[in-house]
Structure 1
Amino acid sequence: MAIGKHLAELGGLPAFDFPHSAENPPDLPAVDAVAWRISVDSWLSKHSWADVFASFLDTVDSTRVRALIIGNWITEAAHPQTGGEPVIEAVVAAAGRLPRLRALFHGDITWEENEISWIRPGPAAELLRAYPALRELGIRGSEGLVFPPTTHRHLETLTIQSGGTPRDVLRGVAASDLPALTTLDLWLGTSEYGGDGEVADLAPILAGDRLPALRHLGLRNSEIQDDICTALATAPVLARLHTLDLSMGVLTDRGATALLGGQPLTHLRRLDLHYNYLSAEISDRLRETLEPAGVDLDLDSDDAEDDVEDDGSVWRFVSCGE
C-alpha cells in the first residue's frame, strides 16, 4: 500500500494548502478553522520549503494557528533523500509565533513525491521540545529519524508511519516519559528498509511501565506481526486498552492463535487486523469469540496475498515497505 493521498485533516480540522504559488490565490479561511499544509511542488517549485513557511507566517495571523502539516520539502534541484533538518529548524525557530499550535504532522508526502523509505524526517523529537503544549505529533518516514527518550507532559497522540522503523527509534519511544499519551501508532515495517526492531525493544510499553494513559495501541505494518501478537497475549498493557491495531503486517495463524489463547480480548472496543494472512478457520474463530462480545473486528485481508515461487517457497510482505 503506497500512500497516495495527502492528509485530509489534522487535529480535528480540515487540511488546507497554503497557496504560495497561485497567480490568483483564493480567499483564505479563518486561521484557526483549518490545518495548514505547507509544501512545495517536487518539480515546479522555485522556492524552498523554508521560504514558503516564512511567507505563511507573514501572511496569516500565526498566533491563531492550531494545526500545521509539514508537506513535501524536496524539489527537483534537491537530492531525493534531502533530510528534514532545515524544515525542523524553521519550525522550531517559529515556536514563539505559533503559541496555539496543538497538532503537527511532519512529512505529509505521497509516493508520487517521494517513496516513504526515502523520506528523511531528521531529529523530529526537537519539535516536542519546542512546543511543550502540543497534543498531537505525526511523523512519516524513518530514514535518518532521530527520536531519543523524550519528556512531554501534554502529548496525547504520537504516530510514526514508516516502511522500516529503526530499533533506536522504538527504544526511544518506549523509554519516553509521556504521561498524557492516550494514542500510540507505530509502523514497524521490514528489515529491508531499516526496520531492525524486535519485540524486546517495546518491552516497557507492553509491560505497562510507561504511558499510563494509553488506551489505543497500534503496532502494525510489521514483518514480525506474529511475534508481536504472541507478546501481547500476556502483556499487562492489553487489559487497559480500548482499541488495538495489528493491521498491515505479516499476520498469520500463529499470531492470531496466540492472541486467542492469551488473556481475554472481549473488553476491546475495536481490534483491527485488516491486511492479514489468516486462514478462514482462524478468522471464523476470531469472529465467534469477539463479535458476540461487541468487539468491532476488522478482518479484511485487502490485497495481502502469498507470493509463491516456482520452488514452492512462500513470500509475504507488509502493506507499506518501499
Structure 2
Amino acid sequence: MQCPGAVCGICVASMLGLQTAPAAAAGGKAAPFDGTPRCRCWSPGPDSCHWGGGHWSAAAERSNCRPSQKVFWLNSHVRSDGSQLKTHHPAADLRRQMSQPAQGRPARFRALDVGERSGYLKGLVTDIVHDPGRGAPLARVTFRHPFRHGQQKELFIAAEGMYTGQPIYCGRRANLSIGNVLPVGTLPEGTVICNVEGRVGDRGALARCSGDYAIVISHNTDNGTTRVKLPSGAKKLLQSNCRAMVGQVAGGGRTEKPLLKAGNAYHKFRVKRNRWPRVRGVAMNPVDHPHGGGNHQHIGHASTVRRDAPPGAKAGHIAARRTGRRRGQAAVAAGKSML
C-alpha cells in the first residue's frame, strides 16, 4: 500500500487494525498524539503534513509500507496544541547504554533487616560461579522473601567448603558452621571468619580476597565492640553487630601455583597492558634507567631515593622506612613466616 502524504498514520493504522487519524489531520491541522505506533519511514521532517506532532518525509512518500515491515514505538512528547517537543528512537537509548561500561553486580550480604537482627533466615546455595576479574568464586544464594511472596537472590563470596545445595543461615541465632553469616559479637574467640563488615550494614568490606580470613580476638561487652585480626596482621576494633561469614574465602593458594613457562605468563598478563615482560633496570643502558650502564650489572649507588626526587631519578626503594638486614624480633618473625 502506498503511503499518502496527506495523512501520516493511515498505513500504520491499517496494518494494526486501528482507527485512522482524525479528519482534522487530513485538513493539515495538527492532531494530538494518541499513542499510535509509527512505521520505520516516519521521521521528523519539515516538508509534509502534521499528524500526531510528527511529519511525513518525502522519502516516506516514495516507500511502500508493507504489513511485514517492522513497526516500533517512537517516544514523541506533544503539546496540547499538537506541536512537537521531543522525538527520539528507543534504539538511541540502547546504543547509549551499550557504549557505557557495564557495572558488575557486587558480591555482598543481604540487606540487614529485622529478621537477621532477632532470629535467622534460611537460604539455599543454588550455584557456585566464577566472576571475571576476581580470584574467589561466588555463590548464588536464594532466600524466601521475608515481607512478600517471592524469592530473594543474593550473590555471596564463597567460603572454603561451600557446595551447591547447602543451606545457609543468616542471623543472630544461626548456628556456627561454614558459610553462615552471624554478628561478630556472637562468635567465640578464635573463630575464623571472612567478608567482615567494617560498619554495621555495609554488607561486607574486609577479608574478601581468595584465601583471606580474619580471626576474632576478644569481645568487650561494656561498649559492644569486638577486636578482629585482619589478613594484614593489623587488629581492628569493630562494632559487635557487624556481620561476618564463618570460614575462609575459597580459592586459597591461587597465586602459589608456578607458571612453569613463559607462555603461561604471557597469557596471564595479556589482559594487563605493559605488565609483562618486565626488564630490569640494571639490564638497561644508562640513558634508559637510573640503574643502567656499567661493565657489569650493578646499581652503582644506593637503591633508596628520597621522596622528592625528580621523576628521572625516582627509581628503587622510594622513601624507605628502613634499610639493611632484619635483626631481632623482625628477623625471627620473618623466618617463621617462611616455614
Scaled to the shorter chain, the TM-score interval is: under 0.3
TM norm structure 2: 0.20
Structure of greater relative contact order (alpha carbons < 8 Å, 6+ residues apart): 1
TM-score (normalizing by structure 1): 0.21
More helix by share: 1
Structure with greater strand percent: 2
Query: Rg: which structure is higher?
Result: 2
